[in-house]
Amino acid sequence: MSGNVRLLSDTLVAAKEEDRSALIAYLPAGFPTVDGGIEAVKAAIEGGADVVEVGLPHSDPVLDGPVIQTADDIALRGGVRIADVMRTVREAHAATGAPILVMTYWNPIDRYGVERFTAELAEAGGAGCILPDLPVQESALWREHAEKHGLATVFVVAPSSKDERLAEITAAGSGFVYAASLMGVTGTRASVSSQAEDLVRRTRATTDTPVCVGLGVSDPAQAAEVARFADGVIVGSAFVKRMLDAPDDAAGVEAVRALAGELAKGVRGQV
């Protein structure tokens, strides 16, 4: 069974042909429950997201701020397992046809087994993985199995990345490049870092792979701002916060759908 890296690439190309950025949503698996998380992913896509990153909850999420940490804690206390992450990918992709990635730290994959993880993700219809803490120079084993199973390997670049380092990272990755708009953890912010546009420019100088910007985008105006210079706009904490603030799980799912619609207008410059 081959994964859906091609679907991911085609989706990003299709957005570009519409003269807009793609909208990429992030939601953790198992939050607020496994079933509720699946419904939220489906709602994000139905609302207007082009791609969804499904987070694999982890006890030490070094890139994630307090909002996503809270959701991860709820999922972990609920007993979420890697099998539930795979089920989330499988059911969301089957229901929507959209590309679904997994965003995960390296330790859970290492313990689970690289071959087992990549084979199961491909079988579930996954498009690939975002691996924020896997150094490129230590990624050969992962990339070998990901390529074998038709999965994208998305690496994260940061404003601190030197041009030489950017070239090394982009040469090893596939699908898209995740450009972190600032130094720090995920979370909603009042404005998008001015470093983001410069990072996209420097990253594009090293690769033809799409460059998508995340960290700090929370509303349609910010999405429109980033869409001016990025191939994709990644939004996570704002979706999770809407769910945390909702009075019940069903309202949380509808809040995700509504925010996806608002952000979809943002990436199309309709705000």
Predicted model pTM: 0.94
CA distance 215 to 105: 16
pLDDT for 183: 44
Structure tokens, 135:
């150094």
In this predicted structure, the answer to whether residue 190 has a pLDDT above a threshold of 50 is no
Is residue 64 annotated as part of the catalytic site, yes or no? yes
Q: Which of 10, 17, 50, 53 is catalytic?
A: 53
Residues contacting residue 221 through CB under 8 Å, at least 6 positions apart: 266, 271
What is d(CA 167, CA 118) in angstroms, rounded to the nearest whole number?
25
pLDDT at residue number 62? 64
Given 39, 50, 64, 84, the catalytic residue: 64
Does residue 116 surpass a pLDDT of 70?
yes
pLDDT > 90: percent of the chain: 86
Q: Report, as an integer, the average pLDDT of 47-72.
A: 88
Say which range, 5-9, 10-14, 59-63, has the weakest mean pLDDT: 59-63
Q: Residues 18-42: what's their mean pLDDT?
A: 98
The confidence score (pLDDT) of residue 186 equals 46
Residue 155 is classified by DSSP as P
The average pLDDT across 225-234 equals 96
Let me know the angle formed at the C-alpha of 40 by 19 and 84, rounded to the nearest 5 degrees: 115
- pLDDT for residue 243 is more than 90: yes
Whether 192 contacts 199, CB under 8 Å = no
